[in-house]
C-alpha cells in the first residue's frame, strides 16, 4: 500500500499541474465563438468556418508533436515547452483583445489587420502548447504507475482535469460577466499568471513528487531513437536486393504489398475499424455543435435574464464538465453491477446507445425550433439547455469509453499507434465539417442551404443531426452481427 501511495502522490501532483493547462484551454474555448463574433466582428458563417478550420488543425497537431517529443525530448522538457508556448499564446491573445473596438463593422471575410493576425498566432501557440503538455502529462502518469496502479492513476487524473475545465469557465464568466467584451483582455492576463505559477510549481516539485511505486525518480530519458532502431532491426532481416525492389515500387504496389502481408483476421479488423471511423465522424459532427451552433442558439433564443442576474452565454459551458464529474462515478458503478449480472456493454452497444441519446438531444432542439419558427415563442427557458447538456454528457460518457475500447480491440500491437492516429484524426475531420454545417445556422427570418438543401428555420437545421445520427445508429444495429463476426473477438460480448 505504501508503495502505491508513492506513485499516487506523483499522480495527484502532475494531475494538479494539468488543471492549469486545461483550465486555460477550455477557458479560451468557452469564449472562442463569442470572441470571433463580438471582438473580431466576424459574421456567424465566418465564425463557424474559422472554428472548424482551427479545431480541425488543432486535433491533427498531436500526431506530429508526439513524434517530435518521442524522438528528441524527455517528458519534463516537453511539458516545459508546452507551458512556455501556452504562456506566449496568452500574451499574444491579450494583445489582440486589447485592440477591441465596438464600432467595427461585421465582416464576412477575414481581414489581415494587426488584431486578427495576433489572434491567430496566439491560437497557433495555444494548439502547440496543449499538444506538448497533454501528451507529456499522460506519459508521466503512465511512467510513474505500474500495471496494477495505472488504471487508478488515470481515474484520479480525469476528474481533476474536469475540475480544471470548470474553474476555467468560471473565471471567464466572473471576469467578463454578460457581454462585457472590453474585459476579455483581462482573462488572458489572468491565464498568463496561472500558467506561470503552474510551470514554477512543476519545475520545483517534479523531482520530489514524480516517483514510481518503489520511490525511484521517474525515468525522464527520451527514447534512444527507438523508431530508427526498430526499423534497422527489421531491415537487417531483409536482403539488399529486396530493399531495392521495395524502394522502386509505386504507391499502389506498396499498398498491395502491405495488404498481402496482413492476415485475414487483420484485414477484417481493419475493414471494421474504418467503418467505425466513419460512424465516429458523424457522431462528433453532432457533438461539437454544443460549442458552435448551440452558442448562437443560446445567445439569441434562450431567456438568460433571471431578474437579479443575466447569465453569460459562456457560463453554459460549465454544464458539460459538471455533468461528466457527477455522472462518471455513477457510470462506473452501473457498469460494475451489469457485469456482475453478466451483462456486458461492449463498444458496439455503447456506440448505438450514444447515437440514440444524441438523437434524443437534437429531437428536443428540433421540437423547440419548430415552435420558435412559427413565432409561438420568443425566448425559451434555460431549463431546456440544462436538459440538453445532461443528455449530451450521458452520450459522451458512453461514446468516449466505446471509442477507446474499439481501438484496443481492433488494433494489432504492431499497428496500434497508426490506428490511434487515425482515431484522433476523426476529430479533425469532424470539426472541419461541423464548422461548415454550423456556418449555415439560419439567421432570423431567412433561409440557408446545406449541400444545396434549403434550411428554412431552426427545425430544419437541427433535424439534420437527428437524421444523421438516427441513420448511423440504424446501420450499426442492422449490421451489428456481421461486424462482430469480422472482428474475430474471442468474447463476442465485448463488442
Distances (CA, A) of 175 to 184, 303, 410: 8, 21, 46
Of 205, 232, 258, which marks where a domain is finished?
A: 205
Q: How far apart are CA 83 and CA 132, in angstroms?
A: 8
Bridge partners of 57, per DSSP, are: none
Q: Which of 381, 288, 292 is nearest to 45 (CA)?
A: 292
What is residue 412's DSSP assignment? -
The verdict on residue 378 lying in a domain is: yes
Does 289 lie in the same domain as 190?
Answer: no
| Helix residue ranges, H only, 289-382 | 293-301, 319-340, 347-373
pLDDT tens digit sequence for 228-239? 444 455 455 555
Widest distance between CA atoms in the chain: 81
Q: Phi/psi of residue 341, each to 5°? A: -90, 10
Rg (CA), the chain: 24
Residue 254: which pLDDT band, with cuts at 50, 70 and 90?
low
Does the pLDDT at position 482 exceed 80?
Answer: yes
What's the CATH code of the domain at 25?
1.20.1250.20
The pLDDT value given to residue 230: 47
Q: How far apart are CA 11 and CA 398, in angstroms?
A: 25
Q: Phi/psi of residue 219, each to 5°? A: -70, 110
The pLDDT value given to residue 387: 92
Number of residues that this document lists for the chain? 495
The verdict on residue 246 lying in a domain is: yes
Does 181 lie in the same domain as 76?
Answer: yes
**Angle ∠(74,76,82) on CA atoms, nearest 5:** 100
Bridge partners of 305, per DSSP, are: 310
Does 199 lie in the same domain as 254?
Answer: no
Does 278 lie in the same domain as 163?
Answer: no
Contact indicator for 155, 7 with CB cutoff of 8 Å: no
Does 424 lie in the same domain as 343?
Answer: yes
* Structural domain that includes position 99: 1-205
380-381 and 302-303: which strand pairing? Answer: parallel
The verdict on residue 442 lying in a domain is: yes
Does 268 lie in the same domain as 191?
Answer: no
pLDDT tens digit sequence for 197-206? 999 998 898 8
The pLDDT value given to residue 225: 46
Does 466 lie in the same domain as 351?
Answer: yes
The verdict on residue 232 lying in a domain is: no
Number of domains in the chain: 2
Distances (CA, A) of 186 to 23, 173, 248, 435: 15, 12, 58, 28
pLDDT tens digit sequence for 48-57? 888 888 887 8
Residue 390: which pLDDT band, with cuts at 50, 70 and 90?
very high
The grid coordinates of residue 330 equal: 455513477
The verdict on residue 142 lying in a domain is: yes
Q: How far apart are CA 11 and CA 204, in angstroms?
A: 16
The verdict on residue 164 lying in a domain is: yes
Of 146, 177, 205, which marks where a domain is finished?
A: 205
Angle of helix 293-301 versus helix 458-478 axis, rounded to 10: 140
Q: Which of 100, 105, 96, 36 is nearest to 438 (CA)?
A: 36
DSSP string, 79-108: HHHHHHHHHHHHHHHHHHHHT--TTPPPBS
**Mean pLDDT, the chain, as a whole number?**
78
Q: Is 437 exposed, middle or buried (0-12, 13-18, 19+ CB in 10 A)?
A: buried
The pLDDT value given to residue 316: 83
Of 141, 176, 205, which marks where a domain is finished?
A: 205
* Percentage of the chain exceeding pLDDT 70: 75
Does the pLDDT at position 280 exceed 50?
Answer: yes
Does 260 lie in the same domain as 191?
Answer: no
Does 253 lie in the same domain as 165?
Answer: no
Residue 130: which pLDDT band, with cuts at 50, 70 and 90?
confident
Does 417 lie in the same domain as 268?
Answer: yes
Q: How far apart are CA 4 and CA 144, in angstroms?
A: 10
The pLDDT value given to residue 149: 63
Does the pLDDT at position 263 exceed 80?
Answer: no
Q: For the beta carbon of residue 69, count every other beta carbon within 10 angstroms.
A: 24
| Helix residue ranges, H only, 210-247 | 226-236, 240-247
Give me the mean pLDDT over the 254-268 stretch: 65
Does 283 lie in the same domain as 186?
Answer: no
The verdict on residue 427 lying in a domain is: yes
Q: Phi/psi of residue 220, each to 5°? A: -105, 10
pTM score: 0.70
Does 327 lie in the same domain as 404?
Answer: yes
Residue 87: which pLDDT band, with cuts at 50, 70 and 90?
very high
Q: For the beta carbon of residue 217, count every other beta carbon within 10 angstroms.
A: 14
Distances (CA, A) of 439 to 46, 200, 356: 7, 41, 25
Contact indicator for 1, 143 with CB cutoff of 8 Å: no
pLDDT tens digit sequence for 406-417? 665 666 545 554
The verdict on residue 231 lying in a domain is: no
Amino acid at each position: 500500500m505504501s508503495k502505491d501511495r508513492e506513485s499516487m502522490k506523483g499522480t495527484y501532483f502532475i494531475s494538479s499541474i494539468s488543471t492549469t493547462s486545461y483550465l486555460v484551454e477550455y477557458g479560451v474555448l468557452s469564449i472562442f465563438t463569442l470572441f470571433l463574433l463580438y471582438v473580431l466582428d466576424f459574421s456567424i458563417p465566418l465564425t463557424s468556418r474559422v472554428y472548424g478550420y482551427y479545431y480541425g488543425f488543432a486535433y491533427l497537431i498531436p500526431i506530429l508533436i508526439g513524434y517530435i517529443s518521442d524522438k528528441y525530448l524527455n517528458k519534463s522538457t516537453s511539458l516545459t515547452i508546452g507551458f512556455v508556448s501556452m504562456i506566449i499564446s496568452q500574451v499574444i491573445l491579450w494583445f489582440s483583445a486589447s485592440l477591441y473596438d465596438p464600432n467595427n463593422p461585421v465582416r464576412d471575410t477575414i481581414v489581415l489587420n494587426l488584431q486578427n493576425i495576433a489572434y491567430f498566432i496566439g491560437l497557433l501557440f495555444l494548439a502547440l502548447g496543449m499538444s506538448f503538455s497533454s501528451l507529456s502529462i499522460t506519459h508521466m502518469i503512465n511512467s510513474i504507475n505500474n500495471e496494477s496502479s495505472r488504471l487508478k492513476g488515470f481515474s484520479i487524473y480525469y476528474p481533476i482535469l474536469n475540475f480544471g475545465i470548470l474553474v476555467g469557465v468560471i473565471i471567464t464568466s466572473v471576469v467578463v460577466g454578460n457581454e462585457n467584451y472590453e474585459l476579455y483582455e483581462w482573462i488572458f492576463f489572468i491565464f498568463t499568471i496561472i500558467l506561470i505559477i503552474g510551470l514554477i510549481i512543476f519545475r520545483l516539485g517534479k523531482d520530489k513528487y514524480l516517483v514510481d511505486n518503489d520511490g525511484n525518480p521517474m525515468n525522464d530519458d527520451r527514447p534512444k531513437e527507438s523508431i530508427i532502431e526498430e526499423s534497422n532491426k527489421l531491415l537487417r532481416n531483409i536482403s539488399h536486393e529486396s530493399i531495392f525492389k521495395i524502394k522502386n515500387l509505386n504507391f499502389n504496389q506498396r499498398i498491395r504489398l502491405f495488404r498481402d502481408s496482413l492476415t485475414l483476421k487483420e484485414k477484417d479488423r481493419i475493414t471494421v475499424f474504418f467503418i467505425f471511423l466513419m460512424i465516429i465522424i458523424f457522431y462528433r459532427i453532432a457533438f461539437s455543435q454544443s460549442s458552435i451552433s448551440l452558442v448562437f442558439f443560446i445567445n439569441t433564443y434562450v431567456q438568460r435574464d433571471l431578474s437579479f442576474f443575466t447569465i453569460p452565454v459562456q457560463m453554459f459551458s460549465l454544464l458539460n464538465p459538471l455533468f461528466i464529474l457527477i455522472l462518471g462515478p455513477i457510470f462506473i458503478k452501473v457498469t460494475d453491477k451489469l457485469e456482475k449480472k453478466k451483462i456486458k456493454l461492449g463498444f458496439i452497444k455503447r456506440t448505438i446507445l450514444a447515437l440514440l441519446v444524441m438523437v434524443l438531444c437534437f429531437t428536443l432542439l428540433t421540437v423547440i425550433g419548430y415552435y420558435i419558427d412559427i413565432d409561438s415563442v420568443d425566448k425559451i427557458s434555460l431549463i431546456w439547455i440544462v436538459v440538453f447538456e445532461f443528455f449530451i454528457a450521458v452520450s459522451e460518457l458512453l461514446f468516449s469509453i466505446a471509442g477507446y475500447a474499439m481501438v484496443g480491440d481492433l488494433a494489432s500491437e504492431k499497428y496500434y499507434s497508426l490506428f490511434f492516429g487515425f482515431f484522433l484524426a476523426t476529430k479533425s475531420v469532424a470539426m472541419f465539417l461541423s464548422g461548415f454545417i454550423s456556418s449555415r445556422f439560419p439567421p432570423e427570418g431567412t433561409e440557408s442551404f446545406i449541400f444545396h438543401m434549403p434550411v428554412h428555420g431552426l427545425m430544419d437545421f437541427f433535424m439534420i443531426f437527428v437524421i444523421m445520427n438516427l441513420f448511423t445508429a440504424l446501420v450499426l444495429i442492422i449490421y451489428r452481427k456481421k461486424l462482430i463476426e469480422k472482428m474475430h473477438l474471442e468474447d463476442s460480448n465485448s463488442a
